[in-house]
């Protein structure tokens, strides 16, 4: 880590971090030197982007190929009414730049694919998956496992959400009980068949729900960069907004997992078709 060099403005901006024993100026410097790639600038990405920027993450990448629609504004709060029709990466980046000039925003107006995932992900300390489709989730998981890149996962459905963290450290990267840590495929071996899980355009979503889930993801990323606290590694946090309940369940690594198991079959994202059930390609 570089020598501490918080200026007077930064000491003022981050004063509530600096006075905390668990963070202090050293921790804030760590955040300013950190880098996070947020994949998706929608419901989950919006609060995550806001709070990561406010926390002073020095380099923040945003990946999204969509434009702002008025129906997004009920939950995608990083965008405004004047942004309708604009690329989401542009309106999100404008928000960050207005909020915190310390943050270097990198705009990636594209859809993440097996061809460009390495170019987009590599070089960032952490990936925050705020995507809304299974193909992207499996693609990010596989690449992050193969490259040892930490990954924050979040998902929402109507009134419910889930969050977990995969540090993807292997060998000496184990959970508190000494077991290997799981990946997304350990929990969800295959994606559901297309059309069996409706999207929010079909079923709707409680507007404040992704705010809660995205904030939990941002919290996990900040804790990871600070190397403080207990992450949700090996645990899946499930949130029910209607019942206002939070529940965590332990999740274990699958020794037969095709990407992180004892005899992995996936050695490259080129081995997988990220459509349908996201299974390993026959050829």
Based on DSSP, count helices (H) and strands (E) in the chain, helices before strands. Answer: 10, 8
**What DSSP state is assigned to residue 198?**
-
Contacts (Cβ under 8 Å, ≥6 apart) of 99: 50, 53, 54
Give CA–CA dist 270/254, Å, rounded.
Answer: 22
Q: Name the residue with tokens 């050695």.
A: 267
Smallest Cα–Cα separation from 241: which of 154, 133, 132, 161?
Answer: 161
> Which of the following is catalytic: 183, 186, 200, 257?
200
* Alpha-carbon separation of residue 130 from 13, 24, 118 (angstroms): 27, 29, 18
What angle, 0 to 180 degrees and rounded to 10, lies between the N-to-C axes of helices 45-55 and 88-99? 30
Maximum separation of any 2 CA atoms in the chain, in Å: 59
* Alpha-carbon separation of residue 200 from 7, 203, 219 (angstroms): 44, 5, 25
| Joined tokens for residue 226 | 């600070």
Strand partners, 247: 238
257 is catalytic: no
Give CA–CA dist 151/134, Å, rounded.
Answer: 15
CB-CB neighbours of 215 under 10 Å: 17
CB-CB neighbours of 24 under 10 Å: 15
Strand pairing class (160-166; 151-157)? antiparallel
Q: Which residues are catalytic?
A: 200
């Amino acid at each position: 880590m570089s020598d501490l060099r918080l200026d007077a403005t930064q000491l003022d901006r981050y004063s509530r971090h600096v006075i905390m024993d668990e963070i202090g100026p050293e921790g804030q410097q760590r955040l300013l030197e950190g880098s996070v790639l947020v994949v998706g600038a929608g419901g989950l990405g919006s609060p995550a982007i806001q709070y990561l920027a406010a926390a002073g993450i020095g380099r923040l990448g945003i990946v999204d190929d969509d434009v702002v629609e008025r129906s997004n504004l009920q939950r995608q709060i990083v965008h405004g009414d004047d942004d309708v029709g604009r690329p989401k990466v542009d309106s999100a980046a404008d928000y960050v730049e207005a909020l915190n000039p310390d943050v270097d925003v990198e705009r990636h107006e594209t859809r993440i694919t097996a061809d460009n995932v390495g170019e987009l992900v590599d070089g960032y300390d952490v990936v925050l998956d705020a995507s809304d489709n299974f193909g992207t989730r499996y693609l990010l998981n596989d690449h992050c496992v193969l490259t040892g890149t930490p990954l924050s996962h979040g998902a929402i459905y109507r009134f419910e959400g889930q969050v977990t963290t995969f540090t993807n450290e292997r060998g000496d990267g184990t959970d508190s009980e000494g077991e290997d840590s799981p990946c997304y495929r350990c929990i969800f071996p295959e994606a559901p068949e297309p059309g069996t899980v409706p999207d929010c355009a079909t079923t709707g979503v409680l507007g404040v729900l992704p705010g809660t889930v995205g904030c939990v993801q941002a919290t996990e990323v900040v804790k990871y960069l600070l190397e403080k606290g207990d992450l949700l590694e090996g645990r899946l946090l499930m949130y029910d907004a209607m019942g206002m309940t939070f529940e965590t369940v332990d999740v274990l690594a699958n020794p037969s997992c095709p990407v992180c198991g004892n005899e992995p079959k996936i050695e490259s994202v080129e081995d997988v078709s990220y459509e349908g059930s996201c299974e390993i390609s026959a050829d």
